[in-house]
Amino acid sequence: MTEHDHILPTRVYYLIFGTLMLCTYLTVQAAFLDLGPFNTLVAMAIAVLKATLVILFFMHVKYSSRLTWAVVIGALFFLGILFALTMNDYLTRGWH
């Protein structure tokens, strides 16, 4: 279970950087379009994409051990629990 001593070529970093900047531009542009209830979804989707790129490439998770993946996914899972079970309360308060 050793981590590969992976040295990513720098062009990968520049490519990811460019993608991240493009996504930032897109998310600002999308904010000024009236997409109704989808504005938030689009903004969050772009943010998730950006975060994923940072995690996979800048933080090398794509080339890391299964343990690292398990740690990242595990954290997100419990964060999801925090959100899901709390919002479950708030979103059902109005129900009768």
Helix axes 10-31, 38-53, angle to 10 degrees: 170
Shortest distance (Å) from residue 94 CB to other proteins: 8
| Site membership for other proteins, residue 8 (CB under 8 A) | yes
Distance CA 63, CA 82 (A): 29
Q: Could you give the angle at the alpha carbon of 53 between the alpha carbons of 84 and 20, nearest 5°? A: 110
CB of 66 to other proteins, least distance (A): 12
Residue 73 as a binder of other proteins (CB under 8 A): the answer is no
Site for other proteins, residues 20 to 59, rule: CB under 8 A: 20-21, 24, 27-28, 31-35, 39-40, 43-44, 46-47, 50-51, 54-55, 57-59
